[in-house]
Amino acid sequence: DGARVIATLPGDGIGPEIMNVAVKVLETVAEGEGVSLRFEEHAIGGDAIDKTGKPLPEETLEACKASDQVLLAAIGGYKWDNLSSKDRPEGGLLQLRAGLDCFANLRPATLQDELLEGSPLKPEVIKGVDIMIVRELVGGIYFGEPRGFKDADGDRAGYNTMVYKKSEVERIARVAFEIAKARKGNLVSVDKANVLEVSQLWRQTVADAFEADGCEADGLSLSNMYVDNCAMQLCTNPSQFDVILTGNIFGDILSDQASVITGSLGMLPSASVSSPGKPGIYEPVHGSAPDIAGQDKANPLGMVLSAAMMCRYGLNEPEMADIIEDAVKSVLAKGYRTGDLMGASPAGAELTQVSCSQMGELLLETIAE
* Range in contact with ligand IPM (rule: CB under 6 A) among 21-29, 86-94, 124-132, 336-344: 86-94
Task: Note if 252 is an active site residue.
Answer: yes
Q: Does 74 bind ligand NAD (CB under 6 A)?
A: yes
Contact residues for 57 (Cβ-Cβ < 8 A; gap 6+): 42, 43, 48, 51
Peptide bond into 146 cis (omega under 30): yes
CB 300 within 8 Å of CB 291: no
φ, ψ for residue 189, nearest 5 deg: -95, 130
Tell me, rounded to whole angstroms, the distance of Cα 146 from its chain centroid.
27
DSSP string, 296-344: T----HHHHHHHHHIIIIIS--HHHHHHHHHHHHHHHHTTEE-GGG-TT
Task: Note if 256 is an active site residue.
Answer: yes
The DSSP code for 293 is T
Task: Note if 278 is an active site residue.
Answer: no
Q: Does 305 bind ligand NAD (CB under 6 A)?
A: no
Strands 243-246 and 148-152, by their bridges, are unpaired
Helix, strand, coil shares of the chain, percent, nearest 5, are: 45, 20, 35
Q: Which member of 65, 184, 192, 334 is catalytic?
A: 192
Shortest distance, position 369 Cβ to ligand IPM, whole Å: 34
* Range in contact with ligand IPM (rule: CB under 6 A) among 87-95, 149-157, 159-167, 290-298: 87-95
Q: Which member of 24, 54, 142, 336 is catalytic?
A: 142
Nearer to ligand NAD, 107 or 173 (CB): 107
Q: Does 265 bind ligand NAD (CB under 6 A)?
A: yes
Nearer to ligand IPM, 255 or 366 (CB): 255
Exactly one of 191, 252, 317, 340 binds ligand IPM (CB under 6 A); which one? 252
Q: Does 90 bind ligand NAD (CB under 6 A)?
A: yes
Count the site residues for ligand IPM by CB under 6 A: 7
Nearer to ligand NAD, 137 or 323 (CB): 137
Task: Note if 65 is an active site residue.
Answer: no
Nearest to 281 by CA among 297, 261, 303, 265: 303
Q: Does 252 bind Mn ion (CB under 5 A)?
A: yes
DSSP string, 145-172: SS-EEEEETTEEEEE------HHHHHHH
Q: Does 285 bind ligand IPM (CB under 6 A)?
A: yes
Q: Which member of 252, 282, 297, 336 is catalytic?
A: 252
Nearest to 10 by CA among 51, 31, 40: 40
* Range in contact with Mn ion (rule: CB under 5 A) among 30-38, 125-133, 153-161, 244-252: 244-252
Count the site residues for ligand NAD by CB under 6 A: 21
Q: Does 47 bind ligand IPM (CB under 6 A)?
A: no
CB 269 within 8 Å of CB 285: yes
Supply the residues annotated as catalytic. 142, 192, 228, 252, 256
Q: List contacts with ligand NAD (CB under 6 A).
A: 14, 74-77, 90, 93, 265-266, 283, 286-292, 298-299, 302, 340
Q: List contacts with ligand IPM (CB under 6 A).
A: 76, 90, 93-94, 252, 285, 287
